[in-house]
Amino acid sequence: MTRNLPVDAARIAEDIDALAAITEPDRPWTRRAFSPLFLKGRAYIEERMKSAGLETHIDAGGNLIGRRAGSKPGLGTIMVGSHSDTVPDGGRFDGIAGVISALEVARALKDRGIELDHDLEIVDFLAEEVSIFGVSCIGSRGMTGQLPDAWLSRVSGERDLAHGITEVGGDPLKLPEQRRPDLKGFLELHIEQGPILEAESKDIGIVTAIAGITRIEITVEGRADHAGTTPMDRRADALVAASELVLDIRSKALALSAGPTHFAATVGEFRIEPNAANVVPSRVVLLIDARAEAREEMEGFCSFVDTAAARVAAVHGVAIRPPHRVSDNFPTPCDAGLIATLERASDAVEAPHRRMASGAGHDTAWVARVAPAAMIFVPCREGRSHSPDEWAENDDIALGAAVLFEAVREMDKSLSKETADGTHTG
C-alpha cells in the first residue's frame, strides 16, 4: 500500500544507518552506555537535534534532551523518545528506532510549519539496557526521581555510577531534585522484539501494559557421592530434582501463557556443584525470570513454585530452601487515554494495529509512574532482537513515526482543550 506519510522515511534510514556504523568493528552492533562509542553516537544525535531546531541539554540523570518550545508557555511538556545504547552484539534498531522516530516527529513539525501549544521534548534516555554497572533504565529512573541512592556507588573498573553519569554530562548531586511535574504525556516507539506483528501482518502494536518482572532464586541441596559406586536408588541427586522442577515451571508457564494476558517464565541461570563428571551433583542454584501482565497471575505462579519445590524435595530426598524473590517489579499499565489516541493515530495513517502487552522492560515503565505514558511497537524480522540478526524494515519504522506524529498533534490539541475548559488537572 502506498501511503502519503507526514514523515521522511529516507531521513529516518539515514540516521539509523549512521548510528549503526558507530559500533565496535568486530562486534556489530555494539555501542554500550558509558563508552566512548556511546558518546560518539550521542554527539551525532545531538547534532541532528540542533539541525532540527531543537535546543539541547543533558539533564541531571544523563539524558540527552532536545526541546522545541511551545507557543503557550507554562502548559507543560509532551515528551517522545527512547534510548541509543545497545546490548553487546545486538543493537541496530532496539532503542535507536525510537529515538530517531521521535526526532523525525520534531523535524516533520518544523517542515510543515506546525506550532504546538505545548513544549515538545525529544529524549535519548541514558543506559536503558543493563549497563557495565549491572543496572538498567538509569536515565528514566533518574529523570523521574526513582534512581536508588545506593546505585550511585555501584562500581565498574575504577569508576562508580556517579562518575559515569558525570562523564556523560549529568549531575548526580542534583538527582534528588529531579522531578518532571511539567510532563503531560510520554510516547515511545520500539521494535516489537517478538514475532506477533509480523505473523499477523499488523503494522503497529499498541502496548497495553509492560509486564512486571519477578526473579526467583531456588537452591536445591542434595548429597555428593561417587557416580560409579552409589546405587541409582540411593542417591540424593540435586540436578535430577532441579531438572524436574524446571519442567514443572515450564508446564505452568505454558498453561498461563495460553490465557488472555501475557505470561512467560524462563530458567536462564543454572549453577551445578561440584560440576564433575564422576560426582553426583550435590547442589544446584537456579534463577527463574518470570514476566506477567497481570499481577494476580504472578502471585499465583509464585505460589505454584513454592508448592512444586516442596513436592520435588520430598520425592527426591533433597532439601530445597524456600524460593527467594530476588527482585519483584509490578506490571505497568499504559495510559488508557493515550492508548486510544494511538489507535486513532494508527487509523489516520491507515496502519493495521492490535493491542498487545510488552514482555520486555522499557523506559516507558518508569515515566508512566509520574505521567501518562504509552508506547507502540513496529515489526521486526522473525521477532529477533538482542542479536546481530535484529532487523526492522525502514518503511515499518517510518509508519510508526507517522503514528507518533499524528498522536503528538492530537495530544497537543486535547491537552490544550482540557486546560481551557478546566477538565485537565495536570
pLDDT mean over 36-52: 98
Rounded mean pLDDT, 364-368? 97
Work out the average pLDDT over 373-381. Answer: 98
Q: What pLDDT digit, counting tens, does each position of 175-212 carry?
A: 998 889 999 999 999 999 999 999 999 999 999 999 99
pLDDT level of residue 426 (50, 70, 90 thresholds) = very low
Q: Model-level pTM greater than 0.85? A: yes
Domains observed in the chain: 9-210+331-421 (3.40.630.10), 213-328 (3.30.70.360)
Closest Cα to residue 7, out of 119, 110, 95, 82?
Answer: 110
Please report the pLDDT score of residue 1 as a whole number. Answer: 56
- The CA distances from residue 98 to 50, 80, 392, in Å, are 18, 8, 12
169 burial level (CB within 10 Å; 0-12, 13-18, 19+): middle
pLDDT tens-digit series, residues 324-359: 999 999 999 999 999 999 999 999 999 999 999 999
Q: What share of the chain is helix, strand, coil (3-state, %, to 5)?
A: 40, 25, 40
Mean pLDDT of the chain: 96
Where does the pLDDT of residue 423 fall: very low under 50, low under 70, confident under 90, or very high at 90 and above? Answer: low
Answer whether residue 36 shows pLDDT above 50.
yes
